[in-house]
Structure 1
């Protein structure tokens, strides 16, 4: 479902803030495997950390779990512009990277971070019934995989359907190109296997907002695979999935998409 740049701009300008005059604090470099597993590698201890940015003076706040992009080969946890002081708890996550690890470690790390969030976020004034999982590019891919393939979270006795919403920003719907590279498959050959969100379409998945840049400006095929994912989720009977294409933006479309994420979280938190 295509949205024009003008409509996006109106939505961004007119979007009410989720909070006013709250005081926020940041707790950094929390090891999210701590307490979830008995042993960790040195690289796991170094890399598998998250930050929590939360308001101090209120409770039961919606939570946004953010996975950075970087092709599963680079990137660092950060809070995107536009997510600060918006009445949400932000959990921003580092995960292990290629070539030091290979699939499915990236997805396993993402699931462990989401599991940590479910088990601990109330200490940071978040509501674990209002956890929204999102990220850009590779991070959007991880968000989709954790929310759609229920096996990753079930390892921690968490039902993936408890996620309040999945909001991948320009994430792969087919198998990620770095994983295809690890399997010796050319980047131009589309694969839909167990490492593809498209493989795991189901009508009982959490609500989804799919956001991409303009189809002519995006990475090769990214809009088209996302549109096909959207169509197949509708075909299978998913009741709450929407696709937005941001005119005027290519793959680097995080900033204009953030207000859409916040509006989605606000509306779903009311339900």
Structure 2
């Protein structure tokens, strides 16, 4: 049986590779293999005046009133990415009964820190105000992100300045989820990221780990144990330790099979056998610990 599983999984990965060779990006392949029968999508909703300040909402077909809500921020080193590439994330969460918002935000070189955090806060404020129109419960609101998007989620959840600017507070969040996030990365080594944070004068207040407090929302932190882009020991484990020391409910999980990139891809139907990331996220949302 184990041999059959390995053969089947290997064949599936081979099919993905062949599709990728046919002038398709990996996310295009994942989205092409993602069904659209589990959700209704409302796209291109503006939460601000800039063309990058838009979001898409995925509503489960099986949604009940007052469904939990996730606002998802994608990664890309704050200089690339599009919400249209993350339909597989919207489908994954919607298929489990979660109303999902996938938000764009302004990127470098158009902006630098902290403008993308201001955008994230505005997307959260839009969600808090309007998600009831999509069967979501604004009182059951979570943030989630991958890589630099996990940084955005962390900063909004831990540093109250950004949500306060839109009339909200981290207390308005039920929790947050970070996948392979950079939470403690000074001095900056990645040349593509340095200008985003004004290197070499990057402000210490830009680091999520410096904003941990007792009142922070519960968190689920997941990382690839062999991540060669964002060190999981310094970032995920380091933040988890500091949250625990402050009395904040936190769970940190590490998986050997995914890479930094395929950790988020494991939410997609074709790659879920890489790691039970979706099950862990859904379990956290359904059974969020309390302080």
Would the TM-score normalized by the shorter structure come out above 0.5? yes
TM-score by length of 2: 0.74
- Work out the CA distance in 1 between the residues paired with 2:290 and 2:184: 32
2:143 matched residue in structure 1? 133
1:201 matched residue in structure 2? 212
Give the deviation of 1:220 after TM superposition: 4.5
2:41 matched residue in structure 1? 26
Give the deviation of 1:225 after TM superposition: 2.1
Long gaps (5+) in structure 1 = 1-21, 34-39
| Correspondence for 1:246 among 246, 250, 255 | 255
- Work out the CA distance in 2 between the residues paired with 1:66 and 1:243: 19
How do 1:109-124 and structure 2 match up within 5 A?
109-124=119-134
- Work out the CA distance in 1 between the residues paired with 2:205 and 2:177: 20
1:263 aligns with 2:283: yes
Q: Contact 1:103/1:179 (CA < 8 Å) preserved in 2? A: no
- Work out the CA distance in 1 between the residues paired with 2:231 and 2:185: 12
Q: Contact 1:175/1:193 (CA < 8 Å) preserved in 2? A: no
Q: Contact 1:175/1:197 (CA < 8 Å) preserved in 2? A: no
2:54 matched residue in structure 1? 49
Q: Which stretch of structure 1 is more off in the superposition, 240-249 or 223-232? A: 223-232
Long gaps (5+) in structure 2 = 1-36, 267-274
Counterparts in 2 of 1:223 and 1:126: CA distance versus 1, 3 Å: same
Q: Which stretch of structure 1 is more off in the superposition, 156-165 or 261-270? A: 261-270
SS in 1 for 2:93: coil
- Work out the CA distance in 1 between the residues paired with 2:206 and 2:120: 14
1:181 matched residue in structure 2? 195
CA-based RMSD: 2.4
| Correspondence for 1:98 among 108, 122, 127 | 108
Q: Which stretch of structure 1 is more off in the superposition, 222-231 or 173-182? A: 173-182
Counterparts in 2 of 1:192 and 1:98: CA distance versus 1, 3 Å: closer
**Deviation by residue 1:166-222 (Cα, 9 ceiling, x = unmatched):** 101111112585664341239xxxx771111101001111100111101x3342524
Give the deviation of 1:226 after TM superposition: 1.7
1:160 matched residue in structure 2? 170
- Work out the CA distance in 1 between the residues paired with 2:139 and 2:126: 14
- Work out the CA distance in 2 between the residues paired with 1:233 and 1:217: 21
SS in 2 for 1:173: coil
- Work out the CA distance in 1 between the residues paired with 2:227 and 2:153: 23
How do 1:35-46 and structure 2 match up within 5 A?
40=49, 44=50, 46=51
Give the deviation of 1:126 after TM superposition: 0.3
SS in 2 for 1:59: coil
Comparing both chains, which one has the higher relative contact order based on Cα–Cα distances under 8 Å and sequence gaps of 6 or more? 1
- Work out the CA distance in 2 between the residues paired with 1:115 and 1:175: 28
**Deviation by residue 1:38-71 (Cα, 9 ceiling, x = unmatched):** xx4xxx1x11100011136621000111111111
SS in 2 for 1:80: helix
2:87 matched residue in structure 1? 79
Matched residue count: 234
Q: Which stretch of structure 1 is more off in the superposition, 259-268 or 68-77? A: 259-268
1:16 matched residue in structure 2? none
Counterparts in 2 of 1:220 and 1:23: CA distance versus 1, 3 Å: closer
